[in-house]
Structure 1
Amino acid sequence: MALSCFHCHPLPYTVTTQRHTTPFPFSISLSSTFKFSSALSSSTSTTHHPLPPDFSPSQLLDLIRRQPDESSALRLFQWASTQPNYSAQPSIFHELLRQLARVGSVDSMLSLLHQMRSSACPVDESTFLIFLEAYANFELHGEINAVIDCMERDFALKPDTRFYNVALNLLVKANKLKLVETLHSKMVADGVAPDVSTFNVLIRALCKAHQLRPAILMLEDMPNYDLRPDEKTFTTLMQGFIEEGDVDGALRIKELMVESGCALTSVSVNVLVNGLCREGRIEEALRFIYNEEGFSPDQFTFNALVSGLCRTGHIKQGLEMMDFMLEKGFDLDVYTYNSLISGLCKLGEIDEAVEILNHMISRDCSPNTVTFNTLISTLCKENHVEAATELARNLTSKGFLPDVCTFNSLIQGLCLTSNREIAMELFEEMKEKGCEPDEFTYSILIESLGSEKRLKEALMLLKEMEKSGCARNVVVYNTLIDGLCKSNRVDEAEEIFDQMEMMGVSRSSVTYNTLINGLCMSKRVEEAAQLMDQMIMEGLKPDKFTYTSMLKYFCQQGDIKKAADIVQNMTSNGCEPDIVTYGTLIMGLCKAGRVEVASKLLRSVQMKGLVLTPHAYNPVIQALCKRKRINEAMRLFREMMEKGNPPDAISYKIVFRGLCNGGGPIQEAVDFTIEMLEKGILPDFPSFGFLAEGLCSLSMEVTLVELINMVMDKGGFSQSETSIIKGFLKIRKFDDALANLGAILDRRKPRRF
């Protein structure tokens, strides 16, 4: 609520100090306070009575406290204040102020304060403390200085050290560190002497602001005020160092604490134990506990140890520590249970994590959103989306409200398991339940729709994001640009690209690379080159993906000179070509018929220490096979097996085709077929057909049958498919057997088993 001025705020209701008899609009029984209270609840009575002569302020206070809400309490008070025997009491005003403060009725509080003054009711610091709490609770921290101004100007009250401490503490809790500085300056200017609590609050403020050096200086300044740091002073500093990730600094503060004669308490020890555990220094934490005389580990200590063990991957020890805690009568808190559940989930131990959840509930420790989201997210990642959905439904029926993280996990899991329609239904349900989708929700769905080329729906989601005010990040735009480019809708992709600038979304290297690749695929290489220049102008450095897109275009066009220029530019601009770049250039050279140059480049790349991949070898092997230079091709193939990455299915397919098309002895082709099948790679049928024809012409039908049986076995043919083919083989109808085999192989892609 915006306030015009604390000390001159307009009154929301009429306040009168004149005392006269005004009938209260409810019946009053004079026999007892209880009857009087009962009468107040009946608005149908027509009997009106004044306050009884013996009705005390304490009875009125009790009645005010019994009212169902602050409005009723205020009406009762306003009526009572008009009665002849009413006397203004601070306790009554304070009770009303507290009730109004709970609901944030600041206007009414201010009016009541002025009524206190006009009725000559004593106003002291405790009155204004109620205002401090109210303003802090409703985030009106900027008005706290106005409270002090009002005290001094309108009520001639000077805030003391305690009052300033309360105000400073409320500001520090709310992280209003600038206001803390302003208020402390006023405290000093007013000559109010600080005490230990003042220093503790200020040190905590400095620690929150990550200003540890000034916090230490403030500690050192305390003796100048004849003050000694207490346990809270040192513990606050320890916590500050721990939050900065400097546990050793916290341990130095502990030594300083001991040297100053201030004994460690369980709180300070636990702070250090927690800090050590957060850093994974579990053994050190245990030694510290053991060596600290007079310290008995409590529930906080054990919780810190269990969480630390889980955080460092020692889940088994964490579970053992949990059992030890329970034996000693300690309970785990929800954060510790969450650490155990999270640790088990990271190890993929879902069943054990669910057991911990059930144990947690049996110990009357209520799971929170983090608990359920951890389990649901893990189930989705493990492709147990149905189980995750069921868990979410069960939890919802028990009063658990799923948040955006819950929905995101489920939607992502459904998309990854190709249940996109259900994911969209859940997305709609999410909105119906009042849970606003975030940018991650939209990113998941847009990426999923883009992968299915359902770009119209993806673009509609982008518009929905705009209408809902949801921030659109670069990932969302990149996903759409990629989908449009892959669907050959490059003009629309350029529109999305331009839209990013208008919406204030910074374009990344991925954005540029995606569109540059799309333009190159659409043979719009000049536009791609202009876009690369724009990329550099925006301060982004072209990387290997940028250059490779253009390189691939020139290689496909057979323009080796320009392709070589791209590689040269790439190197001169400090972007070292990788094996993908060289592989693309080798492919271009082979396509242009320059196999010898490609072979030399292959050797040159090898000399650079790069591990050659099938992407680099395959074009050269294929070119050699086409030229019937099968021996050279086989040498490269075997070299790839020994020195490079293992050959892929394409490598085997190239060599197999070369051998079967008359590139070498038929036995070599047979042996290679067996080798290929043992790797789990099925042959393509046209080449296998050539091999079968050759085997039959050489009366090697037995070998052919063995190969066909091996293909069926490795290919996982069904029983009916196998029976038909074997039937034809048995009666030596090889053409029919091969025809059926070919039909089945045509429906299958080469794959590994």
Structure 2
Amino acid sequence: MRFGIPIVERVLIRRHYRQSGYLFSLFFTTNHMELNSSKEDSENEWESLLRPFDLEELRKSLCWVTPRRLLRLLELPLDISTLLQAFNWASSQRGYSHTFDVYFVLIKKLAEAGKLKMAEELLQKSREEGVVLRECLFIVIMRCYGKSGLPGAAVRMLDEMLEKYECIPSFRSYNVVLDILVLANCHTAAVNLFYRMLHKGVPPTTFTFSIVMKSLCSVKDVDSARSLLDKMGRYGCVPDSIVYQILIHVFCKENRIQQALQLLDDMLLMGCPPDAETFNDIIHGLCRIGHLDDAMKLVERMVNRGIEPNALTYGVLLQGLCKMGEIDEARSVLSKVPSPNTVMCNTVIHGYVMAGRLVEAKVLKDTMKQNGCHPDVFTYNIMISGLCKEGRLGLAICLLNEMEAKNCKPNVITYTILINRLCKDGHWEEANNMVKEMYSKGLSLNTIGYNCLINNLCQNRKFDEAMSLLEKMTEEGCKPDICTYNSLITGLCKTEHLEEAFHVYDNLLLKGVVANSVTYNTLIKALLQQGKQNKSVKLHQDGVDTALELFEKMRLNGFCPSMASCNLLVDGLCRKRRVQDALDLLEKLLQLGFKPDIVTYNCLMNGMCRKGSMHAALSLLEKLHAEGIVPDIVTYNILISWHCKVNLLDEASSLLNRAVNIGIVPDERTWNVLLHNVLKESIHGVPLL
């Protein structure tokens, strides 16, 4: 329009931007407008605003507002309440009807503002007014539901499109909802919606397949995702680079590298250009399974196709080579990198350090500047850690001084490495000085640092100092973890302070720290070894029952007992003549994936013989052969000893012959038991009980 914004829009804009607190009321009616509020502006202002229209004709007009004019107003950056007021005012005008475009703009603004309930109410109003709704409106609402974290509402809206609003959803609507479900991790729902889409005859697109493949891969149904690739042609869809990249990435993640390589070949045949990330996935997978030659060839293939390897490509390759001990090859690759960065150099330096080649690591560190990069705190930490492991503490401290001289600030890890070495070497005073130096530079010990100190104190049996450090750690707001408590428990158990160890265990549970397999195995082992040595347990009257309680807690928390703990449990029960309990325990252990060894069976046979069940012990010996477990001299010593004790010397002699026949050499204990009992028999005529 020549004169610019229509009058109703101007009035509303003026109303919106006025800063005074009173309301600027709309004064339009269907029959006339009150234009004579003041004599000064009634003539000049209104005539100027309404030119070139005839003022009298406009006054006589029954309805001057149109959907087009209202639409222009709704598109302005006005607040929601103003827009709704304009919308409702227009609705009240005689002969006026809202169009789809008006509803679309207002509903879109409401939905994007998070007013989803109001948007749906307006949608319902449009249906009641008989407005023919189009798919684009529902897509807007569904997307807003997705952004608001309401995937279920998006699915409901998709269902209501046809049922309630008589709008047939196309692949666009399904793609939007599928994408929302995947982003919300509703993968099963996404797959179900996809098959429902096919059942309803809605043709999927390549994008549809890529979404569903991603969903299937997320729930580890990789084979189903791969099968969809073969089905795409039935629906007239051609796989693109994204489809192949999704599958290649997940195959590499599952170490199915050959299938990933086959997909790469298919991708190239289909004319889908792979990018550096696609190659990086496969190179990483090849390095992970130790196929370094194939990884190197793939890098060459990548270059030949005109794809420039990036920093990640070289980083993955260098890491793989160093991990497999191919340090010289890694150094050669590094020398060929056009612009190596500090991370790449650090990877090779770490490889040298792990191989004990500290001199070459230092040479590479010193020549980094020539390649356009500089050693950082990680470089120095790697070097200092290597020197400390080699016991070269003096050189490590010199390196600390060097990094400070070069304005490379040491961090908590730097000091923790040095403090740990100082503690191990017994330099407690120097370690304390290092801690003070660290605090003077504004750094504080973290959990790892405290754990190093506490662990070393416990190993040196300085439990009072370790407990004091634990209190200080808590006071400084540094939360102890399970490693902190395990150091204390292990140290106390090794020094036979079992009661104190259980006190620490109870304390960690009260603090909300979750015990792990190390905690349980340490306590179980200490309980049963102490019981085996016939020592009293002050805290618990029966160490075996307490150990079983710990085993049950361990099992319920999803941890597996160690082989030593299992054998000690079985042995502890058998020593108490609770052989059936030991067999029941073994059954539970088998369900957890535990594989009994010869020590387990020796404990069981000893327990059976202790109860006088010689026949059961011999039957168990026969079972060993069936399970492929080879008996040892301890097995036969147990059986021979118990047979001698009950005066079954012939059977004991037969067992000795059997042991010799299968290549087991009798030891000193074997001969002592036999000779002792034979002599007793010949002298006294009665067996030694």
- TM, length-normalised to structure 2: 0.61
1:242 aligns with 2:322: yes
Q: Residue 512 of structure 2 aligns to which amino acid in structure 1?
A: G
Corresponding residue to 2:182 among 98, 109, 113: 98
Q: Which residue of 1 aligns with 2:211?
A: 130
Corresponding residue to 1:150 among 228, 231, 255: 231
Corresponding residue to 1:476 among 600, 606, 609: 600
CA distance in 2, matches of 1:548, 1:169: 61
CA, structure 1 residues 221+337, in 2 after alignment: closer, same or farther (shift >3 Å)? farther
1:449 aligns with 2:555: no
Q: Residue 526 of structure 2 aligns to which amino acid in structure 1?
A: G
Corresponding residue to 1:213 among 286, 290, 293: 293
CA distance in 2, matches of 1:465, 1:554: 39
CA distance in 1, matches of 2:617, 2:366: 65
CA distance in 2, matches of 1:412, 1:56: 65
Q: Which residue of 2 aligns with 1:543?
A: 665
Q: Give the CA deviation at 1:207.
A: 1.8
Q: Residue 549 of structure 2 aligns to which amino acid in structure 1?
A: E
SS in 2 for 1:105: helix
CA, structure 1 residues 178+388, in 2 after alignment: closer, same or farther (shift >3 Å)? farther
Corresponding residue to 1:401 among 514, 529, 545: 514
CA, structure 1 residues 508+94, in 2 after alignment: closer, same or farther (shift >3 Å)? same
Q: Give the CA deviation at 1:106.
A: 5.3
1:268 aligns with 2:344: yes
Q: Give the CA deviation at 1:543.
A: 3.5
Q: Give the CA deviation at 1:490.
A: 3.5
What CA RMSD, in Å, does the superposition of the two structures yield over aligned residues? 4.7
CA distance in 2, matches of 1:301, 1:361: 32
Q: Which residue of 2 aligns with 1:37?
A: 116
Structural mapping, 1:193-212, within 5 Å: 194-212=274-292
1:252 aligns with 2:326: no
1:61 aligns with 2:184: no
1:391 aligns with 2:504: yes
Q: Residue 142 of structure 2 aligns to which amino acid in structure 1?
A: L
Structure 2, unmatched stretches of 5+, are: 1-105, 394-416, 422-430, 532-536, 684-689
Q: Which residue of 2 aligns with 1:506?
A: 629
Q: Which residue of 2 aligns with 1:435?
A: 557
CA distance in 1, matches of 2:502, 2:485: 11
Q: Residue 197 of structure 1 aligns to which amino acid in structure 2?
A: E
Structural mapping, 1:654-665, within 5 Å: none
1:485/1:518 contact within 8 Å kept: no
Alpha-carbon deviations, 1:149-169, whole Å to 9, x = none? 233442422232x54334222
Q: Residue 175 of structure 1 aligns to which amino acid in structure 2?
A: N
CA, structure 1 residues 456+305, in 2 after alignment: closer, same or farther (shift >3 Å)? farther
Q: Give the CA deviation at 1:517.
A: 3.8
SS in 2 for 1:93: helix
CA distance in 2, matches of 1:255, 1:325: 38
Moved more, 394-403 or 457-466: 457-466
1:233 aligns with 2:317: no
Q: Residue 136 of structure 1 aligns to which amino acid in structure 2?
A: C
Structure 1, unmatched stretches of 5+, are: 1-27, 560-587, 592-753
CA distance in 2, matches of 1:147, 1:343: 57
CA distance in 2, matches of 1:326, 1:155: 67
- TM, length-normalised to structure 1: 0.56
Alpha-carbon deviations, 1:331-382, whole Å to 9, x = none? 9887787677666655556667667777877887766555544543343233
Structural mapping, 1:335-734, within 5 Å: 369-370=482-483, 372-418=485-531, 419=537, 421=542, 424-425=545-546, 427-428=548-549, 431=552, 434-435=556-557, 438=560, 440=562, 441-451=565-575, 455=579, 457-462=581-586, 464-465=588-589, 471-485=595-609, 489-501=613-625, 504=627, 506-509=629-632, 512-518=635-641, 521-522=644-645, 524=648, 526-528=650-652, 530-531=654-655, 541-545=663-667, 549-550=670-671, 552-554=673-675, 557=678
1:110 aligns with 2:186: no
CA, structure 1 residues 77+270, in 2 after alignment: closer, same or farther (shift >3 Å)? farther
Alpha-carbon deviations, 1:591-613, whole Å to 9, x = none? 9xxxxxxxxxxxxxxxxxxxxxx
Q: Residue 553 of structure 1 aligns to which amino acid in structure 2?
A: L
Q: Give the CA deviation at 1:478.
A: 1.9
Q: Give the CA deviation at 1:75.
A: 2.0
1:303/1:336 contact within 8 Å kept: no
Q: Which residue of 2 aligns with 1:176?
A: 256
Q: Residue 368 of structure 2 aligns to which amino acid in structure 1?
A: E
SS in 1 for 2:220: coil
CA, structure 1 residues 470+118, in 2 after alignment: closer, same or farther (shift >3 Å)? same
CA distance in 2, matches of 1:241, 1:324: 38
CA distance in 1, matches of 2:166, 2:437: 68
Q: Residue 75 of structure 1 aligns to which amino acid in structure 2?
A: R
2:644/2:677 contact within 8 Å kept: no
Q: Residue 156 of structure 1 aligns to which amino acid in structure 2?
A: C
Q: Give the CA deviation at 1:227.
A: 4.3
CA distance in 2, matches of 1:368, 1:131: 41
Q: Give the CA deviation at 1:403.
A: 3.0
1:446/1:479 contact within 8 Å kept: yes
Alpha-carbon deviations, 1:243-285, whole Å to 9, x = none? 23x1xx2343233322x24222232233234334444556764
Q: Residue 384 of structure 1 aligns to which amino acid in structure 2?
A: H
Q: What number of residue pairs does the alignment pair up?
A: 517
CA distance in 2, matches of 1:296, 1:329: 24
1:238/1:251 contact within 8 Å kept: no
Alpha-carbon deviations, 1:305-325, whole Å to 9, x = none? 676567667765546788888
2:633/2:664 contact within 8 Å kept: no
Q: Which residue of 1 aligns with 2:157?
A: 76
CA, structure 1 residues 131+41, in 2 after alignment: closer, same or farther (shift >3 Å)? same
CA distance in 1, matches of 2:529, 2:233: 65
Q: Give the CA deviation at 1:463.
A: 5.0
2:577/2:611 contact within 8 Å kept: yes
Alpha-carbon deviations, 1:193-244, whole Å to 9, x = none? 5554343322222222222233334344444434454433332232223323
CA, structure 1 residues 226+181, in 2 after alignment: closer, same or farther (shift >3 Å)? closer
Q: Give the CA deviation at 1:119.
A: 4.9
Q: Give the CA deviation at 1:549.
A: 1.0
2:489/2:505 contact within 8 Å kept: yes
Q: Give the CA deviation at 1:289.
A: 3.4
CA, structure 1 residues 557+216, in 2 after alignment: closer, same or farther (shift >3 Å)? same
Alpha-carbon deviations, 1:109-143, whole Å to 9, x = none? 4336538x95567x334x44433433333222222
SS in 1 for 2:260: helix
Q: Sequence identity of aligned pairs in percent?
A: 21
Structural mapping, 1:317-328, within 5 Å: 317-318=419-420
1:345/1:375 contact within 8 Å kept: yes
CA distance in 2, matches of 1:183, 1:263: 31
SS in 2 for 1:507: coil
Q: Residue 124 of structure 1 aligns to which amino acid in structure 2?
A: T
Q: Give the CA deviation at 1:482.
A: 3.2
